[in-house]
A = this chain, B = another copy of it.
Amino acid sequence: MVKTKDKIILAAEKLFSEHGFEQTSLRQITSEADVNLASVNYHFGSKKSLIQAVMSRYQSVFMPALDEQLSRLAEHETYSTTDVLACITAPLIALRQVRIDGPVIYLRLLGFAYSEIQGHLRKFTMTHFGHVVQRFFEMIQQANPHLSRKTLFWRLHFSLGAMLFAQVSGQALREIALADFGEETQAEETFLKLLPFVAAGIAADDPESQI
Contact = CB atoms under 8 A, between A and B. Distances in A.
Interface in A161-196: 161-166, 168-169, 173, 177, 180-181, 183, 185, 190, 193-194, 196
A150 interface: yes
Contacts of A196: 204-207
A115 interface: yes
A164 B161 contact: yes
A59 interface: no
Given A22-B23, A200-B201, A153 B165 contact: no
A153 B166 contact: no
Name, among A115, A164, A166, A183, the residue most crowded by chain B CB atoms within 10 Å (CB to CB). A115
Contacts of A115: 115, 165, 168-169
A166 B173 contact: no
Interface residues of A, number: 46
Contacts of A165: 114-115, 157-158, 160-162, 164-165
Contact of A169 (B155, B157, B198, B207): B157
A48 to B, nearest CB: 16
A177 to B, nearest CB: 6
Contacts of A177: 150, 153-154
Nearest to A206: B196
Contacts of A159: 162
A138 to B, nearest CB: 13
Contacts of A166: 154, 157-158, 161
A96 interface: no
A116 B22 CA distance: 11
Contact of A194 (B23, B114, B158): B158
A203 interface: yes
A60 B157 CA distance: 30
14 contacts: A23-B116, A115-B115, A115-B165, A154-B166, A154-B197, A158-B162, A158-B163, A158-B198, A161-B163, A161-B164, A161-B166, A162-B201, A196-B205, A200-B204
